[in-house]
Amino acid sequence: MYRRIFAIAFGICALAGFFFFAPTTATAQSGATYTVQPGDTLGEIATRFGTSVEALAAANNITNVNVLAVGQVLVIPGAPQMLPFVTSYPGETLEDVAGRWGLPADQLAAINEVDLAVRLFPGQPIYLPPSIPAGETLRFGVVTELDYPAQIVQGQTGWLSVQSRRPISLTVEWNGLPLAMAAHPLLDGEVRYTAHIPVPALLGPGPFPLDVSYPARNGVRVRHTTLIDIVSGGYPSQAINLPPDRGALLAPALVQAELITVTTAWSATDTPIQWSGPFLRPIAEEYQTTSAYGIRRSYDGGPYNNYHAGQDFGAPVGVMVTAPAAGIVALAEPLVVRGNVVILDHGRGVFTGYWHLSDILVEAGQQVDTGDLLGLVGNTGLSTGAHLHWELRIYGIAVDPMQFLTAPLFPE
């Protein structure tokens, strides 16, 4: 399911060396919206939120107050702080904003509790309904199509496609994270821009902003922002007790220094795409998962403030680890926490990592093809037993690598 777009504000926060992006507002289930439950009536909902049936109907463009659908999301008048918004231009009225977005003017008036005749001040936030009806004409300058998933599971990756009538200098931010857009020229001068939308396992649940903008020929930046709903991945928790000789590997200074090393290795976004089609397993099928991606982790009785950023396969020392797809070796060296490490650059901001190896059999800068030998399973670094930790990062965000064993990373 795909949506079209509108705007919201956002912020960024950091914790323990990892960056998590969060909207400045809280969650979708706030006083600004209400999801219709079985047995609800519009009158009961209006009473519950201290508003009138007429105001509730106007805010949601409802023509028959006796018909509601279970799961329908209603905007609550007078509580717009959690809704997406746009800012008004100098001299605009609410009717002008409504026309710009293809929305009923009386609906915007009800949501914002503003009289249609009142002239807005420049930059005034005008709150919009949480979605634009399917089939609504997209009003976004030379951009003719904007496709993105309506929701993404925590730890999974979505796909963004933007099509314009001519080449544009497109800027896209996913919850504050810049996305590297790839341009695909089409017929008649049109261009399609595409990118992944990676979701950290600890992001959400809730709505998070996708901001798309470009400078028009007159120099004015045209911008649209929409919300993507991040839903729970249902990840379990795991308590890990480290061997006495390895607990010191969690010292903050060691962790931070190593993080800088690996982050530098997987930060490139301009490498040309190196592969096509789904990835292969980096280890033989007989070696099964011992710890899946996304599991919330506690070390030595500490808080569950971390998660497993990769997929672990239990295997004896010396088992072959192979490239799941073509790429360029970005890093191949021993590290303290991750042990003997290989990182592959597959192009367009997509990297895979292989931790705890006993032997590294490639070197930095080397080109590898699908199935080429990278190293051997080991028990080096912060490890409680012989295994392969396989990690996949997109624009630096660790996402579930198993998603891409059955589907190509680039849907088109």
pLDDT in tens, 289-313: 998 999 887 766 666 667 889 999 9
By C-alpha distance, which of 365, 309, 313 is closest to 338? 309
Q: What is the pLDDT of residue 118?
A: 79
Give yes or no for a contact between 296 and 236, defined as CB atoms under 8 angstroms apart: yes
Cβ atoms 87, 94 nearer than 8 A: no
Q: CB-based burial of residue 231 (10 Å sphere; 0-12 exposed, 13-18 middle, 19+ buried)?
A: middle
pLDDT at 301: 67
- Cα separation, 378 vs 366, in Å, equals 22
Domains of the chain (ranges, CATH numbers): 11-231 (2.60.40.10), 237-404 (2.70.70.10)
**CA 339 – CA 357 distance, rounded (Å):** 7
pLDDT at 403: 93
pLDDT value at residue 137 = 47
Q: How far is CA 401 from the centre of its chain?
A: 15
What are the residues whose beta carbons fall under 8 Å from the beta carbon of 403, sequence distance 6 or more? 156, 157
Residue 13 pLDDT: 30
CA distance 203 to 232: 9
**Interval 73-88: pLDDT, tens:** 787 876 655 566 676 7
Task: Report the alpha-carbon distance of residue 384 to residue 243 in Å, rounded.
Answer: 7
Identify the pLDDT of residue 134. Answer: 38
Sign of the C-alpha dihedral, residues 36, 42, 45, 51? Answer: positive
Task: Give the model confidence (pLDDT) of 98-126 as tens digits.
Answer: 877 777 888 888 887 778 877 887 767 78
Residues 6+ apart with CB under 8 A from 54: none
What pLDDT does 135 receive?
Answer: 37
DSSP secondary structure letters along 160-215: EEEEESS----EEEETTEEP-PEEEE-GGG-EEEEEEEE--TTS-SEEEEEEEEEE
CA–CA separation, 302 and 291 (whole Å): 19
Can you tell me whether residue 250 is helix, strand or coil?
A: helix
Total-model pTM:
0.66
- The H or E element spanning position 238 is strand 237-240
Residue type, 238: Q
Looking at residue 249, its pLDDT comes to: 58
**pLDDT values of the chain reduced to their tens digit, one per residue, 412 residues:** 444 333 222 222 322 233 332 222 222 333 467 777 777 888 888 887 888 888 888 888 888 888 887 767 787 876 655 566 676 767 778 888 887 777 788 888 888 777 887 788 776 778 777 654 433 446 678 888 888 988 899 999 999 999 999 999 999 999 889 999 999 999 989 999 999 999 999 887 888 889 899 998 888 888 888 888 898 888 888 777 766 665 555 666 777 889 899 999 999 988 998 988 889 999 999 999 998 999 887 766 666 667 889 999 999 999 999 999 999 999 999 998 899 999 999 999 999 999 999 999 999 999 999 999 999 999 998 888 999 999 999 999 999 999 999 877 676 5
User: Residue 197: how many CB atoms within 10 A of its CB?
Assistant: 24
Q: Mapping DSSP to helix (H, G, I), strand (E, B) and coil, where does residue 36 land?
A: coil
